[in-house]
Amino acid sequence: MNLTLRIWRQRGPQDKGRMVTYPIQDVSPDMSFLEMLDVLNERLILSGEEPVAFDHDCREGICGMCSLMINGEAHGPQRGTTACQLHMRQFSDGDTIDIEPWRARAFPVVKDLVVNRNAFDKIIAAGGYITAPTGSAPEAHSVPVAKNNADAAFESAACIGCGACVAACPNGSGMLFTAAKITQLSLLPQGQPERYTRVIGMVDAHDEAGFGGCTNIGECAAACPKGIPLNTIGRLNRDYLKATAKRAGTPGS
């Protein structure tokens, strides 16, 4: 396959950045998208140019590092798939592919396609944890959890924190990420003690980080490579309404 890539190049956080066109020949349909970028980088290095910086780690769809906006879609055209698990067979010979970083004020570009997702860590630090000592794995039946709660919590726990929800959201909101963590913890007994301080702390941290507000559009859930459902945001809303009615304050109070 011969392709034309248009890639966002930005030397550093202060650089303005621009789309640069790179033709690439002899791409195998069996390559992953990141392997295709590796091939491009090898060629750029051989010709003395600066390779394209992009985030990646496990390349098996579970670490949440890859963060490419491919033709305007977070993680590319295949649903439920991270960019590292996307294969070139999803494209055709002669295609032009636009590759951009996640675009959000809360995710400043570090270089080229690499963004700083520290804002997500700040949201987690504001309440996305439990204070109960967990130690080694407890006896499974010592704390009963209803099957449907366990399933829904597990579904939300599948979030890998990649930020595709923010990238896809027309409002630049990180509410699906925040809601996934809220849902996971508020459905399990271990998450109950801090349930209502957590939701206020995490939503405040989300807003302070400069994310936009949620308007229930649903682009996030459509883009999510892990299939986090949109109704998690309803769970967050309900906890938030209860928490504000209780005036529970901030975490730790």
Partner 1 sequence: MAVTGIILVLFLVAHMLGNLKIFTGETSFDHYAHWLREIGTPLLPSTWYLWIQRAVLTVAVLAHIASATVLAVRARAARPVAYAHRRKIHVNYAARTMRWGGVIILLFVIYHILDLTSGHLNPQGDPANPYGNVVADFAPERWYVTLFYTLALVTLGFHLRHGAFSAFRSLGQQTPAGERRARAAALVFAVVLVGGYLVVPFAVLTGLVA
Q: Does 234 bind partner 1 (CB under 8 A)?
A: yes
Q: Which is nearer to partner 1, 62 or 116 (CB)?
A: 116
State in angstroms the smallest separation of the CB of 96 from partner 1: 10
User: Is 8 near partner 1 (CB under 8 A)?
Assistant: yes
Segment near partner 1 (CB under 8 A), from 21-29, 30-38, 103-111, 131-139?
A: 103-111
User: Given the complex with partner 1, which of 62 and 221 has the nearer CB atom?
Assistant: 221
Give yes or no for residue 171 binding partner 1 (CB under 8 A).
yes
Shortest distance, position 167 Cβ to partner 1, whole Å: 9
Strands 96-100 and 3-9: parallel
Range in contact with partner 1 (rule: CB under 8 A) among 54-62, 65-73, 81-89, 156-164: 65-73
For residue 60, which amino acid is it?
A: E
Told to check if 33 binds partner 1 by CB under 8 A, we report no
Q: Give the integer Cα–Cα distance in Å for 194 and 243.
A: 11
Residues 106-165 that bind partner 1 (CB under 8 A): 106
Among 42, 238, 246, 250, binds partner 1 (CB under 8 A): 238
* Size of the residue set binding partner 1 (CB under 8 A): 40
**Taking CB under 8 A as the rule, does residue 20 contact partner 1?**
no
CA distances from 19 to 77, 97, 102, 108, 207 (A): 20, 11, 14, 17, 30
Q: How far is the CB of 58 from partner 1 (least distance, A)?
A: 26
Residues making contact with partner 1 (CB under 8 A): 6, 8, 17, 19, 69, 71-73, 98, 100, 103-106, 168, 170-173, 210-213, 215-219, 221-223, 229-231, 233-235, 237-238, 241
